Amino acid sequence: MTNTYLLEVLKAFQPKERQEMASFLLSDHYNRGKNAQEIVRLYKTIVETAPDFSEELLNKDSVCAKVFSEPDVIPGRLEKVISDLNKLLRTFALTRQYFAENNEEQQQIDWAKWLRTNGIAEPAQKTILKLKNKKESVEAESMDQYRTGWLISEEEHLWELTHNQVKGDLNIPNLIYRLDLFYHNYRTELGNRYLLQQKAAQLPDKDFSETEANSFLSDSILLQISKKIYDVLKNGLPSVEETQGLMVLLRRYESTLSFQALDHFYAYLRNFCTFLINGGHLDFIPVLHQTNKDNLEREYFFINGKLPPHAYLNMVQISIRAKDHEWAKEFTERYKSQIVDGDEGRFFYRLNMAYCLFAEGNFDEALNQMPEAPSTAHYHRMVRRLEIKIYYEMRSDLLLYKMDAFRKFLVRTATKTIAANLRTMDLNLLNILMQLTQTPMKDKVRSARLVTRIEGKKLLTDRAWLLEKARERG
C-alpha cells in the first residue's frame, strides 16, 4: 500500500501535524463510525513507519494483522478503512487550514454570517463592525485587502436586506464600489500574468480590456434574466407585458436554474406584480396570491427555516385582497413562531390578525388586536392605514383626527425615510378618503366621479377598498 493516495497525503504532513492528527482521530465527534478503532490502529501502524514508509513494513498482510483483531478479514474491509481514514485526513487538513491565524478575517466574516442567519442580530453587527474598523486601520493595499473589504461590505448588505425596514440604501452603493475595486484589481492582475506568460510561452494574443456584460449574455441564462430585470427597473416601473415576460422566462428555464437563482428571481417577479397592483392592475392580485402560495410551498421565502417579517405581513395582505380569508388566518397561525428574529410583543402576529378580522367585518375586534404603531416608518404606515380604514368603517368621530395625524407624519417625518412614490400613494389615500367622507350616500353622480378619480390615480394605496367604498356611496 506504499503507492496509495493516503500515503502521499501523510508524507506531506509535518511531524507536528501527524501528532495532531493522532489526537484528532481520538475525537468521537469526527471519528465515530463503526470502523473508528480500526482507523486509529491503521493510522498508528502507518505513522510508525515514518519517515521512510517502507514497502516491507506496510505490506497488506502485515497491516491487516495489526489493524484487525479477527484473523479472517472480509475482502475489501481494509480498503474501506483506508477510504474512511482518507476522509478524516481531508477533514483534519481543511479544518487546520481554515482555523489558521492567517485566515482569521474569513473566520470572522463566516461567524457574522452564522449569527445573522440564526437571528442573533446584535453580535452579528458587532462582529462585522469590529472587523471593518480593523481593516480601515490598515493602510497598506493588497488584493486580499480588497477581497476582504468586498466580503465585509457584502455581509453588511445581507444583514440589512434580511432586516429590511424599507429605509436606506441597503449598503448597495458601497458594496458595488468594493466589488468594483476588487474586480478591476484582480482582473488587471490576471491580464498581467497572461501577458507575462506570453513572453515565454507560445500563446495567442488576448484583449483583456473592459468588456460589457452583453458579451456574456449568450453564455448565461442567469445573466440574461438579471439584465432583463435591470433594464425594466432602470426604465421605470414594469409594464404588464414585461411582468408576463419575466413569468414566461422563469417557467421556460425553471429546470436549468438552481433553487437559489429561482428564489432570487421570483422575489423580483413578486415585486413586479406589486408595482402593477399599486398602479391599478387589480387583476394581478390573484396572480400574486397564487405565486406567493407556490413560492411558500417551494420554501423560497425562508431564511434558515424562518420567514422575514415583511413576507409574513405581505402574504396575508395579498391573500385578503384575493378574498382568500381562510388561508390568511391559517397562514398567520401556522407561521407565527417562525419569524426571523422572533416577534417580541407579537407585533406582526397581532397586525396580521387585525387585517384578517377587518376583512371579515369584525371592526371592534380588529381594533382591539391592533398593535402600537412602531417608530419604524414602514410598519408605522401599515398600522396607521389599517387603523384609519377601521375608523372609517365604524363611522367613528376619531377618523378625521387620525387622518390628520397620519398626514402630518407623512409630510413632516416620513420625508427622510420613505420613498416619494410611497408617500404619494398614502397621501392620495387620505385625499380620496376625505372626499368619501364628504360624499352623501345614494349620490350616484358623485360616486361615479369618485370611481373615475380613483381609477385614474397612478399611485394609490388600497385602491380596491377605495373603489368598493366609492361604489357604496352610489
Sign (positive/negative) of CA torsion 90, 93, 97, 101?
positive
Q: What angle do CA 324, 328, 333 make, to 5 degrees?
A: 155
Give the pLDDT of residue 342: 83
Q: Indicate whether 302 and 431 sit together in one domain.
A: yes
Question: Which residue in this structure is represented by grid cell 394605496?
Answer: 461
Report which of 406, 462, 405, 459 is spatially closest to residue 436, judged by C-alpha positions. Answer: 462
Among the candidates 99, 130, 147, a domain finishes at: 99
Q: Indicate whether 396 and 460 sit together in one domain.
A: yes
Query: What's the whole-number mean pLDDT along residues 440-444?
Result: 92
Percent of the chain with pLDDT over 90: 57
Among the candidates 178, 202, 226, a domain finishes at: 202
Q: Is 18 exposed, middle or buried (0-12, 13-18, 19+ CB in 10 A)?
A: middle
Give residue-wise pLDDT tens across range 217-269: 787 888 889 888 988 888 878 899 999 999 999 999 988 898 988 998 999 99
Rounded to whole angstroms, the Cα distance separating 9 from 50 reads: 13
Report which of 420, 426, 419 is spatially closest to residue 405, judged by C-alpha positions. Answer: 426
Residue 286 near residue 319, CB atoms below 8 Å: no
Q: Indicate whether 430 and 320 sit together in one domain.
A: yes
Residue 265 near residue 222, CB atoms below 8 Å: no
Rounded to whole angstroms, the Cα distance separating 308 from 338 reads: 9
Least confident residue range of 173-187, 351-365, 396-410, 427-441: 173-187
Q: Is residue 110 part of a domain?
A: no
Q: pLDDT category, 167, cuts 50, 70, 90?
A: confident
Query: What's the whole-number mean pLDDT along residues 324-343?
Result: 93
Q: What is the DSSP track for 233-266?
A: HHTSSPPHHHHHHHHHHHHHTTTTS-HHHHHHHH
Q: Indicate whether 237 and 283 sit together in one domain.
A: yes
Q: Indicate whether 198 and 235 sit together in one domain.
A: no
Q: Is residue 322 part of a domain?
A: yes
CA distances from 254 to 142, 221, 296, 472 (A): 40, 11, 16, 44
Query: What's the whole-number mean pLDDT along residues 37-62?
Result: 88
Q: Indicate whether 145 and 43 sit together in one domain.
A: no
Give residue-wise pLDDT tens across range 348-377: 999 999 999 999 999 999 999 999 988 788
Q: Is residue 290 part of a domain?
A: yes
Alpha helices (runs of H) in 361-419, residue ranges in sequence order: 363-369, 377-393, 399-408
Bridge partners (DSSP) of residue 307 are 339
Give residue-wise pLDDT tens across range 107-136: 999 999 999 888 888 899 899 999 888 888
Give the pLDDT of residue 40: 93
Give residue-wise pLDDT tens across range 269-328: 999 999 899 888 989 999 999 999 999 999 999 988 889 999 999 999 999 999 999 999
Q: Indicate whether 389 and 300 sit together in one domain.
A: yes
Question: Residues with Cβ < 8 Å from 309, sequence gap 6 or more?
Answer: 339, 340, 341, 343, 348
> How many structural domains comprise the chain?
3
Q: Indicate whether 468 and 352 sit together in one domain.
A: yes
Q: Indicate whether 38 and 164 sit together in one domain.
A: no
For the chain, give the mean pLDDT: 89
More confident residue, 406 or 181: 406
Among the candidates 177, 202, 227, a domain finishes at: 202
Q: Indicate whether 290 and 187 sit together in one domain.
A: no
Residue 378 has pLDDT above 80, yes or no: yes
Q: Indicate whether 309 and 225 sit together in one domain.
A: yes
pTM of the model: 0.70
Q: Is residue 134 part of a domain?
A: yes
Residue 352 near residue 312, CB atoms below 8 Å: yes
The three cell numbers of residue 288 are: 400574486
Q: Indicate whether 324 and 456 sit together in one domain.
A: yes
Give the pLDDT of residue 164: 82
Q: Is residue 312 part of a domain?
A: yes
Residue 191 has pLDDT above 80, yes or no: no
Q: pLDDT category, 340, cuts 50, 70, 90?
A: confident
> What is the 3-class SS of 61-127, one letter each residue?
HHHHHHHCCCCCCCCCHHHHHHHHHHHHHHHHHHHHHHCCHHHHHHHHHHHHHHHHHCCCHHHHHHH
Give the pLDDT of residue 431: 97
Rounded to whole angstroms, the Cα distance separating 277 from 272 reads: 9
Q: Is residue 109 part of a domain?
A: no
Give the pLDDT of residue 445: 93
Rounded to whole angstroms, the Cα distance separating 82 from 97 reads: 22
Question: Residues with Cβ < 8 Å from 152, sequence gap 6 or more?
Answer: 109, 128, 131, 132, 135, 178
More confident residue, 11 or 353: 353
DSSP letter, residue 372 = P
Q: Which domain holds residue 181?
A: 118-202
Query: What's the whole-number mean pLDDT along residues 166-188?
Result: 87
Sign (positive/negative) of CA torsion 456, 459, 462, 464?
positive
Give the pLDDT of residue 309: 92
Residue 3 has pLDDT above 70, yes or no: no
